[in-house]
Structure 1
Amino acid sequence: MNRRSFLKKALGSLLALVGLSGGTYYYAREIEPAMLHINKNNLPSKKIPSAFNNFKIVQFSDTHIGFHYSLEQFKTLVEKINNLKPDIIVFTGDLVDEPHTYRWNDELISALHTLDAKHGKYWIYGNHDHGGYGTDILQDVMEQANFKLLKNSHTIIEKSTDRFVLAGIDDVMLGRPDLKKTLDQVNPDLFTILLAHEPDYADTVLQYPVDVQLSGHSHGGQVRFPFIGDLYTPSYAEKYVQGKYMLGDKKLTLFVNSGIGTTRLPYRFLCKPEIHLYTLKTE
């Protein structure tokens, strides 16, 4: 850690201690974690066929159910997602916080099953999904809820005679990501969206024919302060933390979702939970 980073984190920790120990504590723990933000973005590209103009994709990520985020809260989230009437729903990892201690039940499967999208529901592994012996449990739960796993694989989304590519890699931290295998035999002329839990993987993705990467993992830092930004982000979410990034002379557009739940500490400050609504636009 260099001197600048050390001073930033030291000052930020001091502000967090002072701020969260006062009236801000209640807000950060009880108020902001429930203030869902719907982050709306257009995705324009000459590669998007006319049949997919105004096609809607909803991304949710990092629910971390079980750590200060309940199943009842998740059911409310499901309703809000369905109200957006998405064509596709994608989940970019970390469903529950600790798979080995979570009390798995049919209620969760039912809630996931209720999510409705005409052109399908897709998901990828996050590090918490693989951790705690959750790999097989998560796959079984998501399969029962009609979610299709994209693990170093891709699918072709078709409408009339037009198509685009939706791909996903295994988790970078605890899985075995293989982007070459993921995009094997993909036509580079087709508009391609990649799901990758860890956002910093975008520097690798730049070497491949991918137009948009959708990630989570960072939680946006969870606790942010003016002029300082995030105090802490996990590995592989240190470079790209929150929002939209244009990389490689705008070759790749990266969106980093701030997630729904919390982990490590049950606080959010100046970092509301969010879902993304992407609308494809034909240029």
Structure 2
Amino acid sequence: MTARRALTAAAAGTVAGVTAYGLYRGLKHSNRALVATEYRLRSERVPEAFEGFRIAHISDLQSEYFGAEQRDLLEMVRNGNPDLIAITGDLVDRNHTDFMAALKAVSGFLKIAPVYYVNGNHELQIRQTRIHPFYEELKQLGVHVMLDRCEQFERDGSHINIMGVAETSVYAAKEIGWELGTRFESAVLLEKLRDICEEKDSAFTIMLTHEPQYLTDYATTNVDVILSGHAHGGQFRLPNGQGLYSPGQGVLPKLTSGFHIEGRSALLVSRGLGNSVFPFRLNNRPEVVFLTLKR
């Protein structure tokens, strides 16, 4: 190789390296650049006292930080002025578990509004001797830990129901399904949903659950709103908004973001905040969802 060719090759390698590094930095920055997405739900079932009621929906933090001490995340939620903060699982990550990242976020949320939490598949895959003390600490902080239970949220003499479906119940349906030679045994989840519904009345109801792909089963309860995450927006999103892959849904998943209607129920999927198996998102900034209830 001549000196000129060697110099050209070296220059090309340098340019490629700089380009790759620039792409890496750009992706890393975009994966920390939060976006707030606003939705409204109009329903005649919304009580008059809950006209304009705002919910901040947080999902899939995955032990990540957004600013020092979660400053950026807390600022975005605070600026959204929510009346309730709903967390739909995967606060911590099973692969790089950092409970402090979750606790810093939750402690800050509690200074803004009441916090309701349901777990996700990552919490379920952390040893019980580690995760159960975490649940207890959340409760001691004042978080409503909604593992297969229902509560009333009261406002000005009226109320709505907040209902949580634990990831344990979803996994039980998966495990029995595999034993029976199917992927999922709906009857197992449906029985658990009926049990939880016995705790609620006929008022407007919000369900918190982690995995969105079981919408048809959730909707049998006729709850008004279902909040979930898990899909990470499809991780890599095409320009038309189509996600490429989601756990539990596979390639080109349908339920990765926004509203989806099934019967009387409206599912609202958050694209979530953090990452797990895939270290980066593409065309898919981490999201805080705000939902306003309207009559």
* TM bracket, shorter-chain basis: 0.7 to 0.9
CA distance in 2, matches of 1:219, 1:76: 19
- Label 1:88 to 1:70 Cα distance change in 2 as closer, same or farther (>3 A): closer
Q: Indicate yes or no: 2:180 matched with 1:182.
A: no
Partner residue of 2:115 out of 112, 118, 121: 121
**What's the RMSD between the two structures over aligned residues?**
2.6
Report the secondary structure of 1:142's partner residue.
helix
Give the structure-1-normalised TM-score: 0.81
C-alpha distance after superposition, 1:29-71 (max 9, x if no partner) = x1221221111111211111111111111111100115xx467
Q: CA deviation at 1:102?
A: 3.0
Q: CA deviation at 1:115?
A: 1.4
Q: Indicate yes or no: 2:196 matched with 1:200.
A: no
C-alpha distance after superposition, 1:162-185 (max 9, x if no partner) = 111111101155467521121114
Identity of aligned residues (%): 28
CA distance in 2, matches of 1:47, 1:227: 33
1:77-96 to 2 correspondences below 5 Å = 77-96=73-92
Partner of 2:125: 131
1:136-151 to 2 correspondences below 5 Å = 136-151=132-147
Q: CA deviation at 1:126?
A: 0.3
Amino acid at match of 1:272: R
- Label 1:252 to 1:21 Cα distance change in 2 as closer, same or farther (>3 A): farther
CA distance in 2, matches of 1:108, 1:62: 10
Q: CA deviation at 1:111?
A: 4.1
Give the structure-2-normalised TM-score: 0.78
Larger radius of gyration: 2
CA distance in 2, matches of 1:25, 1:209: 45
Q: CA deviation at 1:118?
A: 7.0
Partner of 1:102: 97
- Label 1:140 to 1:170 Cα distance change in 2 as closer, same or farther (>3 A): same
- Structure 1: tracts of 5 or more residues without a match: 1-19
1:20-59 to 2 correspondences below 5 Å = 24-28=23-27, 30-59=28-57
- Structure 2: tracts of 5 or more residues without a match: 1-18, 174-188
- Label 1:117 to 1:158 Cα distance change in 2 as closer, same or farther (>3 A): farther
C-alpha distance after superposition, 1:140-182 (max 9, x if no partner) = 2322332111111111111122111111101155467521121
